[in-house]
A and B are shown apart, each in its own frame.
Chain A
């Protein structure tokens, strides 16, 4: 029989339903895996006791023939998950990967995680991440970087980054420490690490999942989503996470369809757009270009029509993002002032002002400070129009590009997820802009608020996984997942991380 940690969520559900395993057994297997792979630094707060408690409750329910009462009728009953440490979890330390929140224990539960527990899921622990979700390598975490369970072929010594910011979540799912994990995506923080770690990651439409109780980075962009090993699992998990929340003014009052029910329906007759601007004259490696072309062929073979499209403002998306996200962050992170929670640094005789500047200097890491300063500058008197207002206008144009493509009959857009595969730890931190380029293919979708799914399709010549991205209409995760499932079937990506083989 397959190892419990190798099951997909769909398989684990079936096994639990059939009585072939128990939630406790599943949970114990994953807790053991977390312990065995501590070197990955994927989980920064373990919640073993709580996990077992939740698992026992799930088994008791099942034995008694009861289902969880909530909206999702126990869709994830007994399924052990990792939760990105950006989701506030009641009674469990929530750090956002930052020293400034190192002592913080929320007295409340985020809506998305509460929805998951309502569906019967089990919390294994809190996953590592870039500090305040600002980073593309997980190296900005105050708790040390998480490690990618993949290594380059023939180079098992060089440790690679799992991507970011949801690097711990991606590493945990890829390394079989959890059946799935929550991530959040502001400019690519679910899709880029999913691609780097060879798993599936879905950033839903902005407004699909509630932001209530998720530590804010950039409010107009942040969106929670599932990170899993299969597209079907992503559909199952999204169904449990999503839903209108009256506590979030930007949560969309739209119904949540049964994504898992339609995921196998195929893509015959679907129109897939290929944006020419994602194939820059220089930059995109021939290898990834080739992989993209193979992806088109797979979708065509599955019955889709492939058309060339243009998204003319793609090239300015990254610069737009690096004004809007830091500007919002500079304001969102003002609340970390050492007054009501979190770190406080103060010396004898210090003024309130001293306390602020010392607390925030000690509490925030380099990248977070850099973005707060950029954002503060972009909003300051005399620069607002040139930076923030300009960026919000360009953002309108970027959203308009996508709308035009969809209005022209395109159902889903196919692009590479990242311009490169995972890179070694410690390699790229010297130049911030080079690091920012990791998000060049994911950021436009975020700015337009559209759903984006990364699906692993193949290994690069170096033996590293690489994903392709599918982008859909607002609130049409349905079609995105169906196309993703078609891609997944055709690609038949079965490679396992190198670390699991040794």
Chain B
């Protein structure tokens, strides 16, 4: 499996990671190397095999419908790089 430059640009966009143009080509080579190595999975026969969903035979636990958290604005915004009046602030989003 070989990744081209454009594909790397696309996935870097999806992942919101800035990759300078000059690095796209070398990165494509590197990722292709890893994916090439992963190709060995194709040889494994997985017909009639269910994908693994959990390690142990467990069932999903449910919580009661009770309000146990909140009214804690200072705590949830304490680490915010930018904030005002209890809001998180980000560069203006143009819709």
Residues of A that sit less than 8 Å from B by CB: 103-105, 107, 205-207, 220, 246, 249-250, 252-253, 313, 315-316, 319-320, 322-323, 330, 334, 337-344, 346, 350-358, 360-361, 364, 369-370, 372-374, 376-377, 380, 386-387, 389-397, 399, 431-433, 448-449, 474-475
Contacts and interface: CB of A to CB of B under 8 A. Distances in A.
Contact of A391 (B30, B41, B43, B75): B41
B91 A390 contact: no
B54 to A, nearest CB: 7
Contact of A346 (B37, B50, B91): B91
A75 B57 CA distance: 30
Contacts of A433: 33-34, 37
Interface string B34-66: 110110111110100111111110101101000
B82 interface: yes
Contacts of B67: none
Contacts of A341: 79-81
Which applies to chain A's interface (DSSP): helix, strand, loop or mixed? Answer: helix
Given A220-B55, A358-B18, A448-B55, A373 B11 contact: yes
Given A319-B38, A322-B38, A392-B51, A361 B58 contact: no
B17 interface: yes
A449 B56 contact: yes
Contacts of B54: 220, 250
Nearest to B48: A393
Interface string B5-27: 00110011111111100000001
Nearest to A207: B56
B44 to A, nearest CB: 5
A372 B17 contact: yes
A399 B91 contact: no
B34 A322 contact: yes
A13 B14 CA distance: 52
A357 B60 CA distance: 35
A372 B18 CA distance: 12
A339 B90 contact: yes
For A361, A448, A475, the residue with the greatest tally of chain B CB atoms inside 10 Å of its CB is A361
A342 B79 contact: yes
Given A322-B38, A474-B55, A397 B46 contact: yes
A83 to B, nearest CB: 19
A430 to B, nearest CB: 10
17 contacts: A105-B79, A319-B37, A319-B38, A342-B81, A343-B81, A344-B82, A360-B15, A373-B11, A373-B17, A373-B31, A376-B11, A386-B42, A393-B46, A393-B51, A394-B41, A394-B46, A396-B51
For B13, B55, B63, the residue with the greatest tally of chain A CB atoms inside 10 Å of its CB is B55
A205 B56 contact: yes
Contacts of B15: 330, 360, 372-373, 376
Contacts of A358: 18
Given A107-B78, A377-B7, A390-B42, 10 more contacts: A207-B58, A339-B90, A340-B79, A352-B92, A357-B13, A358-B18, A374-B35, A394-B49, A396-B51, A397-B44
Given A105-B79, A344-B81, A206 B30 contact: no
B60 A380 contact: no
A340 B40 CA distance: 41
For A107, A370, A431, A475, the residue with the greatest tally of chain B CB atoms inside 10 Å of its CB is A107
Contacts of B18: 357-358, 360-361
A92 to B, nearest CB: 13
A246 B55 contact: no
Contact of A340 (B30, B52, B80): B80
Contact of B41 (A320, A346, A369, A474): A320
A313 B52 CA distance: 15
A360 B11 contact: no
A369 B14 CA distance: 12
Nearest to B72: A107
B63 A393 contact: no
For A352, A355, A377, the residue with the greatest tally of chain B CB atoms inside 10 Å of its CB is A377
Given A353-B16, A360-B15, A373 B27 contact: yes
A200 B88 CA distance: 44
A380 B82 CA distance: 32
B41 A316 contact: yes
A369 B17 CA distance: 8
Given A338-B81, A392-B52, A394-B46, A252 B7 contact: no
Contacts of A373: 8, 11-12, 15, 17, 27, 31
A355 B90 contact: yes
A389 B91 contact: no
